[in-house]
Structure 1
């Protein structure tokens, strides 16, 4: 018997709650409408629903986001890198403790490749008329970073093949929730033609009417809740129609005032982060155009934490001053909202010199930076600690001694420079050590407490 199934999907909300009231109202209305017609409705999220830049998420370590998903009656979600590698082990392990939905991640494991109790590798849903829909999910293969936090991550396509083989004889349709990004999704289509529908994420791409490659349909809904994805499916012994579309959130009605909703979440987060961490006798100012008290203090803190030969950071990381008086976790969070970890890289003297001289270029200050964990606006100037750079005569001194081209040095910086293409020497380094789960704001808090002691 032919039947119609309705699938709604979101991805990469990144705790941008400005659109959430409209999304929530829309999903509730559509779910009620379809169920009244006797038709199945499924609601999925494809990861990065949470992002610790927002105080509501930071204050609850993501559990507030889980509550929002509960309220909107999601069937299942997968995790993105913002759930997977920005939370300490204990916080991810308890993130979905109160969830009323399933969490599907085929390639996430505990040590010794034991599957967490809260994770399902796949789910088979049975529709009203007895058709079976298999849903599996995979997340981005940041194996080294997951391992540093205490998790094991298997290679996504290897894992996917196993789950597809388990489902293939039992289902009429196969859906993959993918937090791999558009290029890996396209590769997935070629490797696994048995997949009927991929709901994509991670690279913030979107398709207004889907993208069909061979017999597989791809759908994705951009970022920040700008769109809600919808896929209409007609099922018999296999899907006869798979038609994606997007609803632009700006044109959807809302039963809740968006500004009031945002203010409420901000207030909740601020209250949860109200713990005093230090007391300042003077205001600490910041600037993106050059060195400042706060940026210098952050650079010094990073140097002390990582114990390298020298340290390099960009001033655009610091987004607010710290006012005289008591400093709370909320204050530090507003100053450094980025989910960015400290790291060290090993470079030859020649490579390190090239990086440091390149960092002296004035073009960095107004360069807009998007992604890589950065939640600010512009790169700002570069500042360093433990090293002297004389740009005019191209001299670099470490501990007063000219840098040796063949010697190996350790540079402390932020993880964004190991992922991005700003400094090829850093990106290519074969020895990178990430300090996790601490973010830059944790290092600043540690430094301020030491100054108060």
Structure 2
């Protein structure tokens, strides 16, 4: 009797397990953020500066996604691909020469199902969104962006796949309203993120969506634990933000989001951050196309919940797109090559060669610091040049220099500006660059000697320009970046000058560097004693 009862219970258990397994659907969720038009082959110098492995970009990502789409056709699983903003770039020839259309064509080919525009996307596309939205085979989502005339952005989209109703909405940072390119956002209104997101999630619930996914161009923080402790302290003091949120804050304040795919911060998360209260799973990739975000969600259709998730790699929700592991899909590789050819945007084209490593430095002079300022001088014919050390973001080893090398090294699209100032003001600016623990600026066209042991304001002990001592009364033409010319980086006096003292070129600092390399290759940039610390 007991044996029969045990057998019956065992059969019932297995039957329940089988039925439960039938109700669980696998969702292969792929995601990108902050691509900045990096879709082609590139070298991973962040892994090994001297012998960087090759990354296959969109072609390697296609290899991965295609394989799971083929499996899904057989198994009935679901495959999703989304982007969380900043897929365009101010520094990309592919974007500049195509008006952004090349990236939309690429995303169509990849099979993106939705994307949220990012802050830089607005800086680039601005008044061309109607054209880009019309070209896109997927919706551009932004629930907190309004426009009086026809809005190219939808607040949300609903995707029906394999019996699941998946609601997706987009939200971007309200900081976009403060971009310098104000003409690009004319006619748009950017609403506070929190009420717009809550309203949209409520609508998706009313639509009986099984799963709700947020595409949030708000950014997960660099240190999740530290920022969450601050968030808990805000809760304790009953301080509630409604705008200028991070992705962490959105996940914390808005109940009902199952998965949040974040963009804007270039900090990848190997494991998702899960809000302890709302249990929203938050993912974020690294930037510039080096990785593909990938996670497998197990969704229980009966209980309408994600019961577990797993990775396609051993320990991370991000796949590093090395060509050794994910051989580029030939069809997509050819498509990307054709886009770069049509729009004259080959990032691997060689500008010239360097006979010594172009090393940057955050103090004094270095080969790359000197090259940058010499290029600024040559492009403008100025008497003197200076720029922030932070303008340079990576070194370039001995050998060929490609366009992509320079774009990576100088990622900012700061305009090259000439400002007419007196020798007295120039010396004051140099003094400001060595206040406290600051180590100065990169310079060209002269020599600066400073003594950090002296008090602030009296540390610059010698300045020569063109081999002659600085004349305090003389007017000098000084080349710098638009960022510093606006008074940033401690150069406050420049912000008070009238427009008549500025000459705006049509070049960026990066353009000037590229031109210099072409003219003077092969390069052998030396340290010539232009910046001296006593």
Q: TM-score, normalised by structure 2?
A: 0.57
- Over 3 Å counting, the alpha-carbon distance change for 1:352 and 1:257 in structure 2 is farther
Question: Which secondary structure does the structure 2 equivalent of 1:67 belong to?
Answer: helix
Q: Which residue of the other structure, out of 463, 483, 492, is the alignment partner of 1:415? A: 483
Tell me if 1:122 matches 2:149.
no
Show the counterpart of 1:295. 376
Q: 1: distance between equivalents of 2:142 and 2:183?
A: 19
Q: Deviations over 1:411-445 (max 9, x none)?
A: 9843389798xx25659x899x9x99x8737998x
Show the counterpart of 2:143. 106
- Over 3 Å counting, the alpha-carbon distance change for 1:258 and 1:188 in structure 2 is same
Show the counterpart of 2:342. 268
Show the counterpart of 2:442. 381
Q: 2: distance between equivalents of 1:51 and 1:147?
A: 17
Quote the offset at 1:116 in angstroms: 4.6
Tell me if 1:3 matches 2:25.
yes
Q: Deviations over 1:79-132 (max 9, x none)?
A: 1223111x25333442333211111122233xxx43654311111223332x43
- Over 3 Å counting, the alpha-carbon distance change for 1:42 and 1:333 in structure 2 is closer
Tell me if 1:216 matches 2:280.
yes
Q: Which residue of the other structure, out of 291, 309, 326, is the alignment partner of 1:252? A: 326
Quote the offset at 1:238 in angstroms: 2.7
Question: Which secondary structure does the structure 2 equivalent of 1:229 belong to?
Answer: strand
Tell me if 1:97 matches 2:161.
no
Tell me if 1:204 matches 2:266.
yes
Q: Deviations over 1:136-184 (max 9, x none)?
A: 1112322122644234322322322332232233323221111111131
- Over 3 Å counting, the alpha-carbon distance change for 1:295 and 1:101 in structure 2 is same
Q: Which has the larger radius of gyration?
A: 2
Q: Which residue of the other structure, out of 91, 103, 109, is the alignment partner of 1:53? A: 91
Show the counterpart of 2:414. 340
Q: 1: distance between equivalents of 2:259 and 2:116?
A: 15
- Over 3 Å counting, the alpha-carbon distance change for 1:290 and 1:267 in structure 2 is closer
Q: Deviations over 1:224-250 (max 9, x none)?
A: 223222232404253232525333322
Show the counterpart of 2:169. 136
- Over 3 Å counting, the alpha-carbon distance change for 1:93 and 1:419 in structure 2 is farther
The question of whether the paired residues in 1 share the 8 Å contact of 2:129 and 2:152 is answered with: no
Tell me if 1:392 matches 2:453.
no
Quote the offset at 1:216 in angstroms: 1.0
Tell me if 1:188 matches 2:250.
yes
- Over 3 Å counting, the alpha-carbon distance change for 1:262 and 1:94 in structure 2 is closer
Q: 1: distance between equivalents of 2:321 and 2:251?
A: 29
Task: Name structure 1 gaps, 5 residues minimum.
Answer: 274-285, 304-309, 320-329, 366-379, 402-410, 445-453
Q: 1: distance between equivalents of 2:254 and 2:508?
A: 41
Q: Deviations over 1:267-320 (max 9, x none)?
A: 4333799xxxxxxxxxxxx9731786641265679x9xxxxxx9964599699x
Q: 1: distance between equivalents of 2:480 and 2:27?
A: 52
Quote the offset at 1:31 in angstroms: 1.9
Q: 1: distance between equivalents of 2:372 and 2:346?
A: 32
Tell me if 1:15 matches 2:45.
no
Q: 2: distance between equivalents of 1:202 and 1:337?
A: 15
Task: Give RMSD over aligned pairs.
Answer: 5.1
Alignment length (residue pairs): 383
Q: 2: distance between equivalents of 1:233 and 1:289?
A: 55
Quote the offset at 1:222 in angstroms: 1.4
- Over 3 Å counting, the alpha-carbon distance change for 1:289 and 1:256 in structure 2 is same
Map 1:361-372 to 2 at 5 A: none
Task: Name structure 2 gaps, 5 residues minimum.
Answer: 1-22, 42-56, 222-245, 312-316, 348-366, 394-403, 451-458, 464-468, 513-534
Q: 2: distance between equivalents of 1:253 and 1:296?
A: 44
Q: 1: distance between equivalents of 2:119 and 2:273?
A: 24
Q: 1: distance between equivalents of 2:496 and 2:72?
A: 54
The more displaced of 233-242 and 219-228 is 233-242
Show the counterpart of 1:71. 109
Show the counterpart of 2:12. none
- Over 3 Å counting, the alpha-carbon distance change for 1:442 and 1:287 in structure 2 is closer
Question: Which secondary structure does the structure 2 equivalent of 1:95 belong to?
Answer: helix
Q: Deviations over 1:29-60 (max 9, x none)?
A: 21232133223322101112232433323221
Tell me if 1:357 matches 2:431.
yes
Q: Deviations over 1:2-53 (max 9, x none)?
A: 4333321111222222221111222222123213322332210111223243
